[in-house]
Amino acid sequence: MVSLVPSLTEAIAATDAALLAGATDWCTHPAGLDVPRVGGTKWPDVARVLDLAPDLVVANAEENRAEDVATIRAAGIPVWMTAPATVVQALDTLGRLCAVLDRPDPGWLADAREAWADPPRLPEIDAVIPIWRRPWMVLGRDTFAGDVLARLGVRNVFSGHADRYPRLGRDEPATVPAELVVFPDEPYAFTPGDGPEAWPQARPVFVSGRHLTWYGPSLAEAPRVLLDQLGG
């Protein structure tokens, strides 16, 4: 099979790396994964995917373009689509995928379920979670990363916004009533010198984007890693 989603590539490789016939250039986990590469997630080399003749392609509704998925399906290759908006949905999706792969209940998935059954929580705190700048974009309603943080005690002040990824004006960040601003290192690589200056009213913390936004083996350690980075 070919994976067009970095987190699913990691999940499949952790389950049985021999199942993978290809992955994107952004599939960085596990380190040293030796499979043919098919370009990026937004702009994969669809011809390359078809040349690999996989029996299945795994994709995500947000990370991958609908037209690429349609082209792959039109060539007769089934595509397994994912779109989890909560931790529970992600765990269920991963369980179904492993069953489809005839590798049910891998150890990493059991560990992830246990980690999220009753994770420790911070004292409730209001936060904003930027994911891009120029223009500023933040997490809004119904996002997987937002649910991850909510389960750890972090309330997203934009969770009731009409958009899933609201755009803010250039000077709007400084007006957001948040105590905490959570900066992931992907998709935009925020740093102490690039981001916090726009949010003077909030305490900045920097977290692992992989543990915040990926659904796969990283879920097993995500509560511990994120709580440590959040200061819990």
pLDDT means over runs of 10, the chain (232 residues): 97 96 96 95 96 97 96 98 97 96 96 97 96 97 98 97 96 97 96 97 97 97 97 74
Q: How many domains does the chain have?
A: 2
Q: Are residues 73 and 137 in the same domain?
A: no
Q: What is the pLDDT of residue 232?
A: 57
Find the domain containing 66 and state its range.
2-83
Kindly state whether residue 98 falls inside one of the protein's structural domains. Answer: no
Give me the pLDDT at residue 82, please.
Answer: 96
- Of 83, 112, 147, which closes a domain? 83
Residue 96 lies in a domain: no
| pLDDT confidence of residue 61 | 95
Quote the pLDDT of residue 145: 98
Is residue 91 assigned to a domain?
no
Q: What is the 3-state secondary structure (H, E, C) of the chain?
A: CEECCHHHHHHHHHHHHHHCCEECCCCCCCCCCCCCECECCCCECHHHHHHCCCCCEEEECCCCCHHHHHHHHHCCCCEEEECCCCHHHHHHHHHHHHHHCCCCCCHHHHHHHHHHHCCCCCCCEEEECEEECCCEEECCCCCHHHHHHHHCCEEECCCCCCCCCCEECCCHHHHCCCCEEEEECCCCCCECCECHHHCCCCEEEEECHHHHHCCCHHHHCHHHHHHHHHCC
Is residue 51 domain-resident?
A: yes
Residue 89 lies in a domain: no
Q: What is the CATH number of the domain that holds 38?
A: 3.40.50.1980
Q: Indicate whether 110 belongs to any domain.
A: no
Among 31, 56, 83, give the residue marking a domain's end. 83
Q: What is the predicted pLDDT for the residue at 57?
A: 98
Q: Does residue 159 form part of some domain?
A: yes
Its pTM stands at: 0.94
